[in-house]
Structure formats: structure tokens, C-alpha cells
Structure 1
Amino acid sequence: MPLLNWKRKVTTRQSGAAAEDVALAHLQSAGLSLVTRNYRTPGRGGGEIDLIMRAPDGTLVFVEVRARRNTDQGGAAASVGATKQRRIVLAAQHYLMRLTAPPPCRFDVVAIDGGQISWLPGAFDAG
């Protein structure tokens, strides 16, 4: 059974939320716990982090979720380019400013291509 129902007419927001649900369940089954979902920075042009999770070792994990019907244009993971990474890093920095002692962090991508889910821990870094 496919992870996402691509045949039913849905909005981009609905398909994104469904992909995030699948990613969240996958990460929770791997032992991560949800801290917050859809964290947005204020203002126009701000960034968004789909999921902020905590790994069992205390690492704060900023997760970008991408879903594609197929891999014709490189697939879901390939769509997280340098510009998107920069926006995620800026949003993560904004989130971390609220904490008195920021924990270790990493940036993961959960890519859903058709019915296949791939979790890429440490997919990119803040540098």
C-alpha cells in the first residue's frame, strides 16, 4: 500500500501535511520524539522547519520533509537545494536563540518518493 494517496485530488498543503505525518511516524518508530511541528520564523520570506525532533541522545534534529510522486527530476531529496538549506539553517538559528543552552543539533531530510521513504540523518550542515 502506498504511503501517500497520489490519485485523490488534494492541495499542496494537504499533501505536505500527509507527507509530514508519514515522516513523523517513521522518525518516532526510530526513537525520536516530536518537539514541534511547522516552526515558522516571523516576517515575509522567513523560513520554516517541518519537524523539530529530539533524538534519544538529546540531539535536536531539524527535519525537512519532501515528497515526490516519482524520481523523474532527481527525486525528493534532490529538491533540498542550497537555498532551501540556507532558509532551514536560518530558521533553526532563530529557534535556538530561545534556548539558554542549545543542545547538539543536526539537519535531516526525510524523502518520500512514491511509496518509498528514505531518512537521511545529517543530510546537510549549517556551514
Structure 2
Amino acid sequence: MNKRRIGDKYEEIAAGYLLSKGYRIVKRNYRTPYGEIDILAEKDVAWIFCEIKFRSTENCGSPLEAVDRRKQRRLSRAALYFYASHGYAEDVPCRFDVIAIDGSGGICHVENAFEFQI
């Protein structure tokens, strides 16, 4: 199975998880000039920008460690692009979540995983 198909599989699992928690999935794989947002969701009048990470083992680190400062900056810029291209003011609340899925299928959802990065 190639990386894209593996990613799609675990993004589908994450989307199902979010739906079960009352989130509304707005867009998946939202592409911007600054990178892709895996899942764009809404909950409690806030935009939720979700990064989904899967690791079958922790040989290369945990899924959460994979969302480093560089990735955080890229996601922040993609979110800013989303706001600008859809006419949202900067005071519309948002947050950055990371959903980590491990090889056994365990899900770890970290809300507000990081602050906006420039």
C-alpha cells in the first residue's frame, strides 16, 4: 500500500472519530500554496485545523513528535490562507489539533496542540 492510500485510510479513521465527538467536517485535504490541511472541521463556532499522523511503530518517534516547529509554521500559514481566501476576520476563533494514530489503532487527540506560528 502506498503512502497516500495509507494516509487516506487513517484520515478516514480520524474523520470518523471527530464526527463521533460532534465535530462537523468541512473539508479534507484542503490544499493551499503553503501546504495541505488534513481535516478542516468546525465545532463550537471555531475552525479546527487538524493534522493527522500515523506511525506503525515508534522507531522514528511518536506521531505527535512529527508535528515539529516547521510543520506548525506551515499549518499556520495554510490556516491564514484559508481565512484570507474565505473572508474571515482574524478574530474568528480557531485552533490547531493533532490526531495521532498508532500501529494498534489507538487514537490520541490533542486539542490546541500548538499556537499560531509565524
Q: Work out whether the TM-score is over 0.5.
A: yes
Q: Tell me the TM-score normalised to structure 2 length.
A: 0.91
* Cα deviation 1:38-78 (Å, max 9, x = unaligned): 11113xxx3110000001x1110000000000122321111
1:116 aligns with 2:103: no
How many residues align? The count is: 114
In structure 1, distance between residues paired with 2:60 and 2:17: 24
1:87 aligns with 2:74: yes
What secondary structure, in the 3-state scheme, does the structure 2 residue paired with 1:27 have?
helix
Aligned residue in 1 for 2:16: 25
Question: Which one of the candidate residues 85, 107, 112 is aligned to 2:96?
Answer: 107
In structure 1, distance between residues paired with 2:49 and 2:78: 10
Aligned residue in 2 for 1:76: 63
In structure 1, distance between residues paired with 2:78 and 2:24: 20
What secondary structure, in the 3-state scheme, does the structure 1 residue paired with 2:63 have?
helix
Question: Which one of the candidate residues 37, 41, 54 is aligned to 1:67?
Answer: 54
* Cα deviation 1:69-125 (Å, max 9, x = unaligned): 012232111111010110000000000012244520000000001121110000001
Note the aligned Cα RMSD (angstroms).
Answer: 1.2
Larger radius of gyration: 1
Aligned residue in 1 for 2:39: 51
1:12 aligns with 2:12: no
Runs of 4+ in 1 over 6 A off after TM superposition: none
1:41 aligns with 2:32: yes
In structure 2, distance between residues paired with 1:11 and 1:108: 25
